[in-house]
Structure 1
Amino acid sequence: MYDHHDHDDDTSSSSLSHMNHMDHMDSSSMVFFTLNDLKIGRTMPFYFRERDPSISPQFFPKEEADSIPFSSKQLPYLLQLFSFQPESPQAKAMEHTLNQCENRPIKGETKFCANSLESMLDFAHKIFGLDSAFKILTTTHLGKYSRTSILQNYTVLEAPREIISAPRNVVVACHTMPYPYAIFYCHSLESENKVFEVKLAGQNGDRLSAVAICHMDTSQWNRHHASFHVLGIEPGSSHVCHFFPAENLVFVPTVSTYLD
């Protein structure tokens, strides 16, 4: 998850595998770049993981999800409910998720942690308007995909297609969070954001249609955000771009148009 504060049905075996994976993938997947890197022929190292339903927790039905406490104050009860030891990696991941969801939003940010598909869609309607239509974008693998690949060089194959939102440049990004069942950290920023669809080719033959977002105003971000170290910049001095993993979602109005 690309978090601006720090920067990042079966609840047993599949959830544990997912949470273990989330615990060690952050450092390798948080790769940032700038608009200048989105050029045909540009090669950069990235980590892309295809969504694997066998280890990816699913949304609970809304009534069931709402019946489970979602609060750091209830963490001891939740650990007992899901049979996790207090000092386990899963417990620490749950605590991190609860804290991130309870943190105050940064200036200009509207945030919400969705525990069901219905609550996620309700949040999107809140941002875009009850009568507004929107579509969902996500990074997808095209054809061949090597599950053994972790980090490899990807080359930009075509000119990225920029998505221009109208009447204002509003997007909703929803990031997966490590938890025994599906939790998405959804947020929208008032500052300008540019969204792109980018065709990428991996060095081992992978092909992707990747969704990238460029945050044009980083002045309100935590100065310890990993992107500032990666790009050698200070908060507010430059924009920051990143790709969305396959499990993350980006909501844009359907009135959006593409500019080549």
Structure 2
Amino acid sequence: MLFLKKNLHIGTTLPEGTMFARDGAPKSIHFFSTPLESKYLPTILSYFKLPHGLMKAKQVADTLHSCGKPADKAEPHMCFSSREEMARFATRELGVSGTRVATTRIHGHENPSSMYVVEHITQLNSNVVPCHPMDFPYEVFYCHRPKQVLSLRVQLKDLKDGMPRVMAIAMCHMNTSDWDTQYFELLDGEHGEPICHYMPTNYVMFY
């Protein structure tokens, strides 16, 4: 889902097999909520009957670790299990009276053999709060306000029949000077140049 910003233009063909659909984080049958802190890991694993050795248990531990990182003034972040709390966080961090929401939407059904072509590009905003679903027994999102980014709405059509298939949200990181060299080697780019990525369907972006 990564690409160089300079390669995004009308007529760009995405790699075959590009898929945008993602399942949302699973929700528990019985509502369960506890602070998203590592000290509550035993309580959460016990409630959902997850033995410590399971990969799912490690994913829960990793999520709690990410959510519990100290507050960063440069890039504020928080985890939420409530969409309403996510919206309030975004409103506060963006400094606006109300936020708009953008998500990637698929028209019809995806096919692994489908190929998409960029039909239209619209610039949205540079002041955004993206929220990423985390691995957890119930829905948890990691929301943050990244610096030096640009969000775009990209209309993609089917290469074969020309029909509109995906309205994708893309996030471009404009300053990648501190990124690992492997990203630029992978994308055949120059170190520090803008890198973008598409947001799957289960991501939420406030702007």
Q: TM-score normalized by structure 2?
A: 0.83
- Secondary structure of the equivalent of 1:109? coil
- Partner residue in 2 for 1:36: 6
- Partner residue in 2 for 1:27: none
Whether 2:42 is the aligned partner of 1:76: answer yes
Task: Decide which moves more: 70-79 or 100-109.
Answer: 100-109
Gaps of 5+ in 2: none
- Partner residue in 2 for 1:135: 100
* Deviation by residue 1:211-253 (Cα, 9 ceiling, x = unmatched): 00101112455x37x6345225576x1111000000101111x
- Partner residue in 2 for 1:171: 128
The partner residue of 2:175 within 217, 238, 247 is: 217
AA aligned opposite 2:121 = P
Say whether the 8 Å CA contact 2:25–2:135 is kept in structure 1.
no
CA distance in 2, matches of 1:84, 1:78: 8
Say whether the 8 Å CA contact 1:152–1:202 is kept in structure 2.
yes
- The 5-angstrom pairing of residues 4-153 of structure 1 reads 31-45=1-15, 47-50=18-21, 52=23, 56-58=25-27, 67-104=33-70, 108-129=74-95, 132-142=97-107, 144-146=108-110, 149=112, 153=115
CA distance in 2, matches of 1:91, 1:78: 9
CA distance in 2, matches of 1:202, 1:104: 44
Say whether the 8 Å CA contact 2:36–2:79 is kept in structure 1.
no
Percent of counterpart pairs with the same letter? Answer: 32
How far did 1:118 drift?
2.3
Could you list the structure 1 runs, at least 4 aligned residues long, displaced by more than 6 angstroms after superposition. Answer: none
CA distance in 1, matches of 2:85, 2:69: 19
CA distance in 1, matches of 2:160, 2:41: 43
- Partner residue in 1 for 2:201: 246
* Deviation by residue 1:140-169 (Cα, 9 ceiling, x = unmatched): 001x213x63x754221x231111x4xxx3
How far did 1:97 drift?
1.0
Say whether the 8 Å CA contact 1:137–1:251 is kept in structure 2.
yes
CA distance in 1, matches of 2:101, 2:82: 16
C-alpha change, 1:85 and 1:34, in structure 2 (3 Å) is same
C-alpha change, 1:95 and 1:202, in structure 2 (3 Å) is farther
The partner residue of 1:154 within 109, 116, 131 is: 116
C-alpha change, 1:110 and 1:152, in structure 2 (3 Å) is farther
Number of aligned positions between the proteins? 204
